Amino acid sequence: MTTRTLASQALVVGGGQAGLATAYYLRRAGVEYVVLDDQDRPGGAWRHTWDSLRLFSPATFSSLPGWQMPPTGGYPDAEHVVDYLTQYEQRYTMPVRRGVKVIAVEAPGAGYRVTTSEGTWHADAVFNATGTWSRPFIPTHPGAATFSGEQLHSAQYRSWEPYTGRRVVVVGGGNSGAQIAADLSGQAEVTWCTTEPPRFLPDEVDGRELFRVASLRARGLGEGIGGLGDIVAVPPVRTARDAGLLHRVPMFERFTAEGVAWSDGTTRPVDAVIWCTGFRPQLSHLTPLGLHRDDGLPSTDGPVAANRPTLGFVGYGDWCGLASATLIGVGQWARQAVQRALR
């Protein structure tokens, strides 16, 4: 273990898109900083998606501050995003240390003591950009422990191939549920369960419109069309839907040993259940700070901790910045977090 002391420096925890956007503004502000990331390669969560995933906006609407994502002529795949983030980091010669896990952040006096898998660091400001993919959320459901089949979260799903010819339940009415149900359709025997009927955005509406709506809402201006939770009809979803392969049924009530059962007594044998039920922010390293919490999340004032502007939260979604969990939306919140911390 080595110990480094960084005078008047900032540490960014997490080297995905949110960490890089924060690094961009720290660099512009002339602050000495380091990004610590526990992965061995660039790309953050985009390295862990399923193969057929497509962005819900074209490349030109999926860019971080400073440099536009190279166009692809359609909706980019995750590999394109990984390439973009890799080049983005190189373009601005960002000091990203990979394979370094931040274990604990403490505030023993002025500034922060940050314990990592590679030693202890000291910094005046800490920006958390650890994302959510490493904390998949699966709701508790009656009988789940008795089910003899496979259960996995969308975070672990890669492709339809292992499920060929098998009976699969996909749970979740958001974009992940729709995309995975579409990916499996025609290959597996799919049952798509959602608590509410899924709402598809019109085909001509994509992530650009969602971002516009989010920006309006951030300024307290109107709702715009649809809800931000609506499903974007990306090409694979549209193809499955148009082929009549995307049917939704209400959520089942409980598991049985062999499958699932609905409240009307219907049962269905099932080989696998894929939970597309979202994620939670990965913030366990902040436990020693004993931050005040609202609804289980640290209390924030925009993208910084309430009463602690030198502790930033970038990229986790609406609780710390509307649309901050998107490529195009994260930049404005990274800029604000850096400005607030330096003030």
Structure tokens at 282: 């990965």
Rg, Å, the chain Cα set: 21
Q: How far is the CB of 147 from ligand FAD (least distance, A)?
A: 24
Contacts to ligand FAD from residues 244-263, by CB under 6 A: none
What three-state secondary structure class fits 163?
A: helix
Work out whether 111 is an interface residue with ligand FAD (CB under 6 A).
no
Among 9, 176, 194, 300, the residue binding ligand FAD under the rule CB under 6 A is 176
Residue 177 contacts ligand FAD per CB under 6 A: no
Determine which residue in the list 177, 198, 315, 321 makes contact with ligand FAD, applying CB under 6 A.
315
Q: Which two tokens mark 105? A: 């952040």
Q: Which stretch binds ligand FAD (CB under 6 A): 23-31, 125-133, 244-252, 296-304?
A: 125-133
- DSSP state, residue 201: P
Q: How far is the CB of 85 from ligand FAD (least distance, A)?
A: 8
Contact between residue 181 and residue 240 where contact means Cβ atoms under 8 Å apart: yes
One residue of 207, 298, 303, 321 binding ligand FAD per CB under 6 A: 207
Q: Which amino acid is at 208?
A: R
- Determine, following the binding rule CB under 6 A, whether residue 173 of this chain makes contact with ligand FAD: no
Q: How far is CA 273 from CA 156, 168, 229, 255, 269, in A?
A: 12, 6, 22, 10, 11
97 binds ligand FAD (CB under 6 A): no
Instruction: Provide the CA 34 distance to its chain's centre, in angstroms.
Output: 22
Which of 69, 93, 68 minimizes the C-alpha distance to 83?
Answer: 69
Q: Which residues bind ligand FAD (CB under 6 A)?
A: 13-19, 36-39, 44-46, 49, 53, 55-57, 62, 101-102, 129-131, 133-134, 175-176, 207, 282, 285, 315, 325-328
